[in-house]
Copies of this chain bind each other. A is one copy, B any other.
């Protein structure tokens, strides 16, 4: 039976204000399509693909083209208000929550979900001077098997 977590930290997706401020700073026009895509993405807790987002937006914005959704998402990533979620295989998944958070990845079905874990938010950063790599952030990927992909006989090699 599922346990309940006492203090569940909050997930705060990018706001429209942050988005517009960044557009202005970079001289990019704030279009209705960009607003719509960001709003739709920010409203979700999962990590939809461009196509899923396009599909979800069809009712409200029937004139929004698939191509534009792809392009807008790429722009939002460049603006830093959206991140791409690394997803082995399949399509690119996006997330409008740019705060520090971690991931649960199912090795079998590939499903990925967020995990806000304050205990993992202050890891010491490794010394990457040898690689000449400038670390901006990190996230911990826990992989294993999700509920639906775990057999009742719970052993594997």
Check if A12 is an interface residue, CB within 8 A of chain B: no
Which residues on the B side are within 8 Å of A115 (C-beta)? 126, 128, 131
A7 to B90, CA, bound (A): 37
Contacts A86-B86, A86-B141, A141-B141 given; indicate if A131 touches B157 (C-beta within 8 A).
no
Number of interface residues of A (CB under 8 A): 55
Shortest A141–chain B CB gap in Å is: 5
The answer on a CB contact under 8 Å between B130 and A4 is: yes
A122 at interface by CB-CB < 8 Å: no
Proximity bits, A17-57, B CB within 8 Å = 1, else 0: 00000100100000000000000000000000000000000
Query: Complex Cα distance A139/B124, Å?
Result: 15
B144 contacts A136, CB within 8 Å? yes
| Nearest CB in chain B: distance from A100 CB, A | 11
* Given A89-B84, A92-B88, A150-B134, CB of A127 within 8 Å of CB of B157: no
Q: Which of B4, B93, B135, B145 has a CB less than 8 Å from the CB of A143?
A: B135
With the chains together, A141 CA to B85 CA distance in Å? 11
**Interface presence of A63 (CB below 8 A):** no
A138 to chain B: which residues have CB within 8 Å?
Answer: 140-143
A86-B88, A132-B2, A154-B134 given as contacts; is B142 within 8 A of A126 (CB)?
A: yes
